[in-house]
Amino acid sequence: MNRKIYFMCPDISAPAGGVKMMYQLVDILNKNNIEAYMLHTKRNFRIKYWEGVNRNYIRNMEDTVTLDENDILFIPEQEIEFMMKTKDMTCTRVAFVQNWAYFLPNFLRFNIPLNKSKYQEFGIKHVLASSDVIKTFVDYTMNSGKDKLEIGRVDYFIEDIFKPKPLKDKKLQIAYMPRKNKHNLDQIIPTLSMRIPNIKFVSIDNMNQEQVAKVLNESAIYLSTGYPEGFGIPPVEAMKSGCIVIGYTGWGGDDYADDVVTALETDNPNMFVYPDGEVYYLSKKLEDIWNDISKIIKDKLDKTYYEDIINSAIETAKKYNIKNTEKQIIEYIKSL
């Protein structure tokens, strides 16, 4: 059977983890002799922020692309109009959901009645989710009737460019993503800047992957302020880079976050977790960690309270590897 796989992708020029994941999956499938393509809207669109793009695997809707009943078309959660337009296609269509918080509100943009806000209404029978949190929520919201969706899962993977460095050899600085809840950052950063005159925050926004990896490798701390999150890639990249991670999970991050404060002795705490939107206690703990790390770096201390937390975080990040993702997506394709 000559089956082709297509990932419909909006022409988004700004960095987006969800778009990058689709490119990565296309690359993985082709390396395993499964013919796969990105399907963009415009003929001349080119993604610029990720250098791992293979131009041979890109198609567009301005040219003629024919899908038959053997083919598979993955459609991002926000592309409701495209789902409606492709209802009569004979290929297998899969809703690819990468954030639990956005897939339902997308229906409202098209004035679709609440009792019709299901992928099943467009003839879609399959969903691929990028975390257990998403899989659970899609199942809860859309599988209440007789016509149930088949829901699979594929993990993100953290590339090997992200490498750890001993805490004592890191720079005393806090990395963060300014696009993640700026209104919270506008409280946390000024507050701590007033209390600690020499505190240093380093943004990882508008950087390529190599630049982000360098900053995280050098940074002692990563401040996570993302919510809502379907998964939340930067905190896991920071874990793999040996950073102390503190902040929000956005619910999606519950897939990997194990809170230092509430974890049982049998658990492996890897992150200082605070409720989404909480700024007071988060800021106080961040100040405490900053003061501790300043002594560790100054005195080049090897054995500290933070060592087990960092090691646990690194081991957590290692679970999100390309071999695991490869196995999951190939098995999923074969199941359709």
Residue ranges and CATH numbers for the domains of the chain are 5-157+321-335 (3.40.50.2000), 167-318 (3.40.50.2000)
| pLDDT mean over 102-124 | 88
Average pLDDT over residues 304-327: 96
Q: Are 171 and 215 in contact (CB under 8 A)?
A: no
Any residues with CB less than 8 A from the CB of 66 and at least 6 apart, and which? none
How far are the Cα atoms of 27, 207, 242, 252, 262 from residue 257, in angstroms, in the given order?
28, 25, 15, 9, 11
**Cis (ω within 30 of 0) for the bond into 228?**
yes
pLDDT in tens, 53-111: 677 788 888 887 889 999 999 999 989 999 999 999 999 999 999 999 888 888 888 88
Report how far apart, in Å, the C-alpha atoms of 261 and of each of 174, 265, 266, 268, 273 are.
20, 11, 13, 11, 8
Please say if the pLDDT value at position 268 is more than 90: no
In 177-320, the DSSP E strands lie at 201-203, 219-224, 244-247, 272-273
**Higher-scoring residue by pLDDT: 125, 206:** 125
* Cα–chain center distance at 152: 17
Angle at 46 between CA 224 and CA 330, to 5 degrees: 70
Q: What is the mean pLDDT of residues 20-34?
A: 93
pLDDT at 222: 98
**Alpha carbons 295 and 20: distance in angstroms, whole number:** 39
What sign does the CA torsion over 129, 131, 132, 134 have? Answer: negative
Average pLDDT, the chain: 91
pLDDT the model gives residue 49: 60
Phi and psi based region of residue 277 (left: phi greater than 0; alpha: psi -120 to 50; beta: remaining): left
Task: Select from 134, 126, 175 the least CA-distant residue to 151.
Answer: 126
| Whole-number pLDDT of residue 11 | 79
pLDDT at residue 29 is higher than 90? yes
Residue 318 DSSP label:
H
Helix axes 322-335, 17-31, angle to 10 degrees: 70
d(CA 290, CA 293): 5
Per-residue model confidence (pLDDT) at position 184: 95
Q: CB under 8 Å to 315, separation ≥6 — which residues?
A: 268, 270
Q: What pLDDT is attached to residue 265?
A: 62
CB 108 within 8 A of CB 41: no
Angle of helix 209-218 versus helix 233-240 axis, rounded to 10: 50
Sheet harboring 72-76: ordered strands across? 58-60, 36-40, 5-8, 72-76, 92-97, 126-129, 150-153
pTM for this prediction: 0.92
158 exposed, middle or buried (CB, 10 Å; 0-12, 13-18, 19+)? buried
Q: What is the pLDDT of residue 200?
A: 98
Residue 314 has pLDDT above 90, yes or no: yes
Q: Comparing 299 with 50, which gets the higher pLDDT?
A: 299
**The predicted structure's pLDDT at residue 52:** 64
| pLDDT of the residue at 264 | 66
Q: Above 80 in pLDDT, residue 50?
A: no
Asked if pLDDT for residue 190 goes beyond 70, the answer is: yes
